[in-house]
Amino acid sequence: MVKAVVLGAAGGIGQPLSLLLKCNPLITELGLYDIVNTPGVAADLSHIATPAKVEGLLPPDDGLKKVLTGAQVVVIPAGVPRKPGVNDLFKINAGIVEGLATGIATTAPKAFVLVISNPVNSTVPIVAEVFKKHNVFDPKRLFGVTTLDVVRASTFVAEILGDLSKASDVVVPVVGGHSGVTIVPLLSQSSHSLPSGFSDEKLDALVNRIQFGGDEVVKAKDGAGSATLSMAYAGAEFAVKVIQALNGKKGIIAPSFVSLTIDGGEALKKEIGADLEFFSAPVELGPEGVVKINSLGKLTDKEKKLVAAAIPDLTNNIQTGIAFTKKSNL
Ligand SMILES: NC(=O)c1ccc[n+]([C@@H]2O[C@H](COP(=O)([O-])OP(=O)(O)OC[C@H]3O[C@@H](n4cnc5c(N)ncnc54)[C@H](O)[C@@H]3O)[C@@H](O)[C@H]2O)c1
Ligand SMILES: O=C(O)C[C@H](O)C(=O)O
């Protein structure tokens, strides 16, 4: 019996993500919340012949509180995506995420919180600070969703291998954060080796494509927003892993942007040579959330440089999130 909730459920990510969650038999209750359209989305999904009972709520009449009551897993894709005229996502999304995190901290403080809203490197620290203000912060239960970078890495490697049927078997750890140079694919650890003779230039181009995969979609959508369908796929994949671990399945490991106060975090700080509060690394999941942050493993010199290049942006992004909540009255 698992209740999952999507905050921002009527949006470009929210709707297909809610569809994928509704299709998962592990979920028995699915709560949908947005500032618009959730009753319609919920009515539509409720006709699908799967176990989850769906409800769609809006802000009036304590909708946020009602939807969060009893929630075990809360996924947050609420907020604006990149599009013309929207240059600073943080300005808008910081307040949205802070408001929703306040709702979770007061109504479902034990829920696992999966943050999709960008910029993830800053919105995750915002959620952490809000939870600290309410004295309910459990770092093991807060996740920045970086799975789309992992999904892209698998797909692009399978494309290079000339066999997309392998895409879902290819495992490439992607670490660091979720924006541009903070995205660090560890291609030397790919489950499927790149073709022999794969040149340095080609490797650089592949790293760049994974780091800036979001731009490809924004450009192709030509003003209509950023990745929604691939993000919904990635978000559902990560949410299901969290739910499987919650239900007792062992050995689930996936990269996520998490607090380095968790077991394994101190060792990771030494590995990356930086005293960061958050970093995306492979984490082992269990019924209480993150059991342990794993080592990044053996890195090539190129990968060590990529990690070093990610640190300044990560430091700034994390501090921007923390500074926002310090100034806020919520
Ligand atoms: N983590 C990732 O890998 C990743 C990937 C793609 C997009 N994103 C981010 O996800 C976010 C959503 O993208 P999208 O394309 O779905 O945008 P969208 O505009 O299509 O949908 C966002 C939804 O959020 C809702 N919303 C706004 N304020 C809200 C509030 N206070 N409470 C509840 N709902 C609220 C809107 O009504 C809308 O339905 C963006 O910030 C985007 O940058 C993250
Ligand atoms: O790039 C974006 O703005 C959206 C998202 O973070 C992505 O990786 O596609």
**Chain-centre distance of CA 211, in angstroms?**
15
pLDDT value of residue 84:
84
pLDDT value of residue 113:
98
DSSP letters spanning 194-244: PPTT--HHHHHHHHHHHHTHHHHHHHHHTTS-S--HHHHHHHHHHHHHHHH
Which helix (H) or strand (E) element contains residue 93? Answer: helix 89-107
Residue of minimum CA distance from atom 7 in ligand 1: 227
Residue 329 confidence class, pLDDT cut points 50, 70, 90: confident
Every domain of the chain and the residues it spans: 2-144, 146-323
Ligand 1 centroid vs 268 CA: distance in angstroms?
31
Cis omega before residue 119 (within 30°)? Answer: yes
pLDDT value of residue 87:
77
Residue of minimum CA distance from atom 1 in ligand 2: 214
Q: Rounded to whole angstroms, what are the CA distances from 290 to 19, 111, 204, 246, 301?
A: 26, 13, 32, 10, 29
- Ligand showing the shortest atom-to-Cα distance for residue 280: 1
3-state helix, strand, coil in the chain (%, to 5): 50, 15, 35
pLDDT value of residue 330:
73
Tell me whether residue 274 is annotated as binding: no
CATH of the domain spanning 2-144: 3.40.50.720
Residue 136 confidence class, pLDDT cut points 50, 70, 90: very high
Phi, psi values for residue 157, rounded to 5° = -65, -45
pLDDT value of residue 231:
98
Ligand 2 centroid vs 227 CA: distance in angstroms?
6
Phi, psi values for residue 74, rounded to 5° = -120, 120
Residue 83 confidence class, pLDDT cut points 50, 70, 90: confident
Q: Is 73 in the pocket of ligand 1 (CB under 6 A)?
A: no
Interface TM-score (ipTM) > 0.95: yes
Tell me whether residue 316 is annotated as binding: no
Q: Rounded to whole angstroms, what are the CA distances from 276 to 112, 237, 282?
A: 22, 27, 16
Residues 260-294 have pLDDT tens digits of 999 999 999 999 999 999 999 999 999 999 999 99
Residue of minimum CA distance from atom 33 in ligand 1: 34
The third-level CATH classification (topology) of the domain covering 146-323 is L-2-Hydroxyisocaproate Dehydrogenase; Chain A, domain 2 (3.90.110)
Judge residue 323's burial from the number of C-beta atoms within 10 Å of its C-beta, 0-12 exposed, 13-18 middle, 19 or more buried: middle
Q: Is 123 in the pocket of ligand 1 (CB under 6 A)?
A: no
- Ligand showing the shortest atom-to-Cα distance for residue 257: 1
Ligand 2 centroid vs 251 CA: distance in angstroms?
29
What mean pLDDT is predicted for residues 225-251?
Answer: 98
Q: Rounded to whole angstroms, what are the CA distances from 124 to 29, 76, 153?
A: 25, 11, 23
| Coil/strand/helix, residue 144 | strand
Length of the chain: 330
Q: Which residues line ligand 2 (CB under 6 A)?
A: 81-82, 118, 148, 213-214, 217-218, 226-227
Ligand 1 centroid vs 34 CA: distance in angstroms?
10
**Chain-centre distance of CA 151, in angstroms?**
12
Tell me whether residue 11 is annotated as binding: yes
- Ligand showing the shortest atom-to-Cα distance for residue 218: 2
pLDDT value of residue 206:
98
Bridge pairing between strands 29-33 and 53-57:
parallel
Tell me whether residue 12 is annotated as binding: yes
Residue 149 confidence class, pLDDT cut points 50, 70, 90: very high
- What are the catalytic residues? 178
Tell me whether residue 214 is annotated as binding: no
Q: Do domains 2-144 and 146-323 have the same CATH topology?
A: no
Q: What is the mean pLDDT of the chain?
A: 97
Q: Is 149 in the pocket of ligand 1 (CB under 6 A)?
A: no
Ligand 2 centroid vs 112 CA: distance in angstroms?
22
Token representation of residue 304: 């060590």
